[in-house]
Structure 1
Amino acid sequence: MSRTSVVTGAASGIGKATKELLEQRGERVIGVDLHDADVEADLSTAHGRLALVDSVRKLSGGSIDAVFAVAGLAAPTSATVAVNFFGTVATLDGLRPLLLGSPSPRAVLVSSMAALMPSDEELVGLLSAADEAGALARAEVLAKEPATTGALIYASTKLGLSRWVRREAATQRWAGSGIPLNAVAPGIIATPMTADFISTEQGREALLQSVPMPLNGIADPIVVARLLAWLGGEENTHVCGQIIYVDGGSDVVLRGDAVW
């Protein structure tokens, strides 16, 4: 029987590549985005998150097999906090009950190798505490200096997501319910989010100085989509709570064997 999956951020980049790949494999995909999607919802708002869940429930008939939480922003603004962390967590928590009827439920989110970069300890702490009001207020303070403190916002949200996965994956709500919960952490991917940075050779080289990718360099979205598809597929029965770097070697270069 064909699986039914939900992909957020489905209108562009990694989300679009994931949706198209799953459809090519015969799956039914409910795409979610601000526009050009089956479900149009703004994940930066509580209303939009509730609308996502309600719309998916109606379109799916109340049961889905996988959630791919891909939607995200990279701007030095509080909206990045609202979408990247709280929108992602609300998507997974809100759709989790719809996974329970599947014989092989799966959940995957997109973090980033940016989680290894400098972040704001206070903001990360507020994310861990699920304090959205406090986190948005802290982001507003950081955003006043976009090139310095504002640049910490994106990395902080991705670090927060990686930690959330590690905390949640082995709990009764996820592993105990038979749902593998994992994350992928891309390096530099050629998407609309990075287009301005990699449009020139000088820009690409500068970015690769901070995000080294010795294996094949900057990747296309389909590279991440293939990994997402496996993690969210029936074959993945035991990968649990992992942050899998698909980054051309950035994690290896930056951390070496320090993680062990």
Structure 2
Amino acid sequence: MSTYAVTGAASGMGRAVAEKLTAAGHTVIDVDIAEATVQADLSTPVGRREAAAAVLERCGGRLDGAVMAAGLGPAPGRERPRLIAEVNYFGVVELLEAWRPALAAADDAKVVVFSSNSSTTVPMVPGRAVRGLLDGDIDRVLGALRIFGKQAPTFAYAASKIAVSRWVRRTAVTSGWAGAGIRLNAIAPGAVLTPLLEKQLATPAEAKQIKRFPVPIGGFGDPDHLADWVVFMLSDAAAFLCGSVVFVDGGSDAWFRADDWPRGVPARRLRSYLNRMREFRR
């Protein structure tokens, strides 16, 4: 049996994942702000360091995998954009960087990061905010989002999910991750009937917007079904899965960008592509 760290394990999809792993006989080190084995506030640098250290202590320096499900949605509030950036991006990246040696010690560890189809279905997300997250510059992120006023949390959420998806893609293929036997991937759910979505549906204005959003198969996702996908991505069957972002969203991403992906390498990037090929062959 294996040992997994699961953030956001007290509710929603994180809880469903933790329950399925526990039921299968695995050891789960659950992390959340409350009602968890490791209680920590991932919206602060201190909280993230404490969470990382507590998990490393409990796993004895070896982790067979991690599921990064902790996240904040785009609720109203002046401080919400900062909290979203801190939890959704830094609460993933900083913990995983701290846990990398323990994951490498397992030889064939699997990591699943929760992204979102908001990474491809929200228009006009400021690239400066995304780049700010990837560069670790929270002030630049907040500056880029300030122009959106009350809508800033929506764009902060989408920017956080774009950034974390790009971090997964960039990091997964490096020698410190793929080369160390760690398989790093992301799952991008759509509208899943979690407590967060139920709360939004209870507000008439938000419910109207949510129900107008295109979901070709109709309805909402089930947290247990998403958890099944995560368990698969942690299994031996996913050994060849590396740097992927898997959309499980009822067809929304495909509806919005049916012709955008896959796409060949543009001519303007051919030189960079060939240089990377040569670098890899060395």
TM-score calculated relative to the size of structure 2 = 0.85
Aligned to 1:246: 248
Larger Rg: 2
Return 5+ residue gaps in structure 2 as ranges: 263-282
Please show how residues 91-240 of structure 1 align to structure 2 within 5 Å: 91-116=95-120, 117-118=122-123, 119-139=125-145, 141=146, 145-146=149-150, 148-199=151-202, 204=207, 206-210=209-213, 212-240=214-242
Report the Cα distance in structure 2 between the residues aligned to 1:239 and 1:51, rounded to whole angstroms. Answer: 30
In the TM superposition, what whole-angstrom CA distance separates every residue of 1:46-98 from its partner, at most 9, and x where no partner exists? 11111111111111112110010110001342100110011111121111111
Return 5+ residue gaps in structure 1 as ranges: none
Q: Residue type matched to 1:250 in 2?
A: S
TM-superposed deviation, 1:204: 4.8
In the TM superposition, what whole-angstrom CA distance separates every residue of 1:155-190 from its partner, at most 9, and x where no partner exists? 111111111111111111111111111000000011
Looking at secondary structure, tell me which structure has more helix per residue.
2
How many residues are aligned here?
Answer: 255
TM-superposed deviation, 1:223: 1.5
Report the Cα distance in structure 2 between the residues aligned to 1:150 and 1:82, rounded to whole angstroms. Answer: 13
Aligned to 1:29: 28
Q: Residue type matched to 1:164 in 2?
A: W
Of stretches 37-46 and 127-136 in structure 1, the one that deviates more from structure 2 is 127-136
TM-score calculated relative to the size of structure 1 = 0.92
TM-superposed deviation, 1:142: 5.0
Report the Cα distance in structure 2 between the residues aligned to 1:137 and 1:79, rounded to whole angstroms. Answer: 14
Q: Residue type matched to 1:28 in 2?
A: T
Report the Cα distance in structure 2 between the residues aligned to 1:206 and 1:237, rounded to whole angstroms. Answer: 39
2:112–2:186 contact (8 Å) kept in structure 1: yes
2:32–2:38 contact (8 Å) kept in structure 1: yes
Structure 1 residues 195 and 171, CA, compared in 2 at 3 Å: closer, same or farther? same
1:12–1:192 contact (8 Å) kept in structure 2: yes
